[in-house]
Amino acid sequence: MLYDANVWVALLIAQHVHNERARQHFDALDAGQYVLLTQSVRISVSRILTLRSLHSSCSIEPITNTAAFDYLARITQSPKVRNLLEPAELFVTWRDLAAHPHPAPNRWMDAYLCAVARHAGVPIVTLDRGMLHYAQYGVDVMVL
């Protein structure tokens, strides 16, 4: 499976409102199950970890860019996490899923993650109910 960046952030920040849900899902993975991690998701997690709004909403001290790398190291140390190299043909699927007749800036990353999940043949796990829209394109979307 592939976790959306919001699931990783909830998993990494104990004070996050969805931490328990994310932790339960991750801990419930069987020995043969794993979560794929892409470079783009790492970048998104890093960006979210350093947002002031996260610090305020979770009542935590600001996380610096340097500290964000420590949080990322926690992700990659788990045997339940595997790095995913993107296939070249992913671009076409991403382009098709991101297409929209009006400006839709929030669609870029969601479409990318859904394209990755579809190519890898795994579900995308998210906290964002809006991603259910991509099920019509053959993407297996699981909302925690």
The reported pLDDT for the residue numbered 26 is 96
What's the average model confidence in pLDDT over 29-36? 92
The reported pLDDT for the residue numbered 120 is 93
The reported pLDDT for the residue numbered 76 is 87
Tokens of 92: 């076409």
Q: How many CB atoms lie within 10 A of CB 32?
A: 5
The reported pLDDT for the residue numbered 85 is 87
Mean pLDDT, the chain, integer: 92
Tokens of 54: 């996260």
Element spanning 125, H or E:
strand 124-126
Tokens of 83: 């790095």
50: left (phi over 0), alpha (psi -120 to 50) or beta: alpha
Domains and CATH numbers, the chain: 2-143 (3.40.50.1010)
Residue 37, φ and ψ in degrees, nearest 5 = -130, 125
| Residue 1's pLDDT band (cuts 50, 70, 90) | very high
Is the Cβ–Cβ distance between 13 and 45 less than 8 Å? no
Q: What percent of the chain has pLDDT over 90?
A: 76
Is the Cβ–Cβ distance between 131 and 116 less than 8 Å? no
Widest distance between CA atoms in the chain: 44
The reported pLDDT for the residue numbered 31 is 86
* pLDDT tens digits for range 43-93: 999 999 999 998 899 999 989 999 999 999 988 899 999 999 888 889 999
Burial class (CB in 10 A: 0-12, 13-18, 19+), 15: exposed
The reported pLDDT for the residue numbered 88 is 84
The reported pLDDT for the residue numbered 102 is 87
The reported pLDDT for the residue numbered 137 is 94
| pTM of the predicted protein model | 0.85
